[in-house]
Amino acid sequence: MIAARGLAKRYGDRRVFAGLDVDLDGGGFLLVTGPNGSGKTTLLRVLAGLAAPTAGELRLPDRRTIGYLGHEPLVYRELTPLENLGLFARLYRIPDRGEHVGMLLERFGLWEVRHERVGTFSRGMQQRLGLCRVLLHEPGLLLLDEPYNALDVHGAELLDAVLDERRATVVATHDPQRVEARATQRLAFA
Amino acid sequence: MTYLSDVGALLRKDLLLELRAKETLPAMLLFVISALAVFHFALPKGTSDTAARGLLWSAIVFTALLGLTRAFVAEREQGMFDALVLAPCDRSALWLAKALAVLAFLVAAEVVALPAFAAFFAGVDGRTVAAVALADVGIAAVGTLFGAMAVAGRARELLLPLLFLPTAIPVVVGGVGGYLWFLALYDAIFALLSWAAFEYVVVET
């Protein structure tokens, strides 16, 4: 899934990370920990192909197999859940869009509010919708940045169930307790 | 067909966002009418039609700039560029859809601005309407590219005018002079460049 050798990223004179090696296959779980501003998000963006590394070799899967959840849930607040997922389902060319989107909204407890604007949702509901968007195209690789942020107990259990599906996963978090046991590899930023 | 379907879906999204938020078009309309009213009272009586036409083009360029500063607000504030860039569609489809949305807002503003110009200054002939239509295409094409570049930068409010206004000078020259062939050439060159360059603008280096 991911093969990186000597990966480095700089912003001007500031070194974010250097000399990173990452090998992640299907079913692997890489836990990236560290305090705020230590480079976790930057690493995830590089692994998603959203930012180019400054140095090193990086082999990534096709971007249609990547499911990326950033700090924000990455959904339009002025649109409804149906409109948000409908847009991405179209861009990802998902067959039976309506049925697939409906199933995801049911699974994440958002079916009842499918016609309401996302901007009226709590942060936790937006995070659930963000997870729906991530899973919409059934990606083989999940890149999740602080995924438990804002989720209530039920929302966190839903995310646990997603992680149980054993896709190749990279989770960046400053609070690793919830996912510590799943990790097959660990990377700690200082 | 898939490419056009992607453009259609993204364009529909942009129009829906504006329909719900009503942040861009009302501001553009208010700005262009206010600018023409200010010019009307600032210009001495008996000013030539050429001078008045120059002011029309100034109003159009600055109205477009106002629309362009709002074009990527949702993508910037909600981090949506990341989600869109990761989608498997051709990245130039993102540019084309946004440029078409900007073009639609600009045309809508001009539907009001041109009659207002005729009321304040002088009648608008067919050549001017054609020049405005051609100019809109070039402004939307190059302005959308620069809008996306500015979103990635820190001083985005400063960066967009600095990038856009120099490239709008040929539009004003062609528009005031009524050089339709020049505006069409500008459209073709900048639309092609923007279409090809957008891919490199949206991925962080």
Give the domain extent around B41.
2-202
pLDDT, residue B192, reads: 96
Main-chain dihedrals φ then ψ at residue A51, nearest 5 degrees: -140, 140
Show the tokens assigned to A144: 């999740």
ipTM score for this prediction = 0.91
User: Choosing among B6, B86, B203, B205, which should be mutated to test the A contact, i.e. which has the most A CBs within 10 A?
Assistant: B86
At residue A48, the pLDDT reads: 94
Place B15 in a pLDDT band, splitting at 50, 70 and 90: very high
Number of domains in chain B: 1
Q: Write out the residue range of the structural domain in which residue A122 sits.
A: 2-188
Q: Do A78 and B20 touch (CB under 8 A)?
A: yes
Q: Give the number of beta-carbon pairs within 8 Å between A and B.
A: 78
At B156, the pLDDT band (50, 70, 90 cuts) reads confident
In tens, the pLDDT along A13-39 reads 899 999 999 999 888 999 999 988 889
- Digit-coded pLDDT (tens) for B54-86: 999 999 999 999 999 999 988 988 889 999 999
pLDDT in the model for residue A76:
96
In this model, does residue A106 exceed pLDDT 80?
yes
pLDDT, mean of residues A139-143: 95
Angle at B148 between CA B94 and CA B175, to 5 degrees: 95
Structurally, chain A folds into a number of domains equal to 1
CB burial of A107-146 (b: ≥16 within 10 Å; e: otherwise) equals: bbebeebbeeebeebeebbbbbbbbbbbbbbebebbbbbb
Amino acid at position A81, single letter = P
Contact between A68 and B83 using a beta-carbon 8 Å cutoff: yes
Q: Mind giving me the DSSP string for B158-198?
A: HHHHHHHHHHHHHHHHHHHHT-HHHHHHHHHHHHHHHHHHH
pLDDT tens-digit readout, A59-89: 999 989 999 999 899 999 999 999 999 999 9
Q: Does pLDDT of B205 surpass 70? A: no
Positive or negative: CA dihedral B156, B157, B158, B159: positive
> Is residue B1's pLDDT more than 90?
no
| pLDDT the model gives residue A33 | 94
Indicate the burial class of B16 (C-beta count within 10 angstroms; 0-12, 13-18, 19 or more).
Answer: middle
Tokens representing B134? 């051609």
- Confidence category of residue B89, pLDDT binned at 50, 70, 90: very high
Amino acid letter, residue A110: L
**What is the rounded distance in angstroms from the CA atom of residue A99 to the CA atom of residue B59?**
48
The DSSP bridge partners found for residue B58 are: none
Residues of A in contact with B24 (CB under 8 A): none
SS3 A9: strand
Answer whether B129's CB lies under 8 Å from B95's CB. no
- Min Cα separation B81/chain A (Å): 8
Of A164, A100, A178, A183, nearest in space to A137 by CA: A100
Provide the CATH number for the domain around residue A126.
3.40.50.300
Residues of chain B with pLDDT > 70, as a percent, come to 99
8 Å CB contact of A52 and B80: no
Average pLDDT over residues A99-123: 96
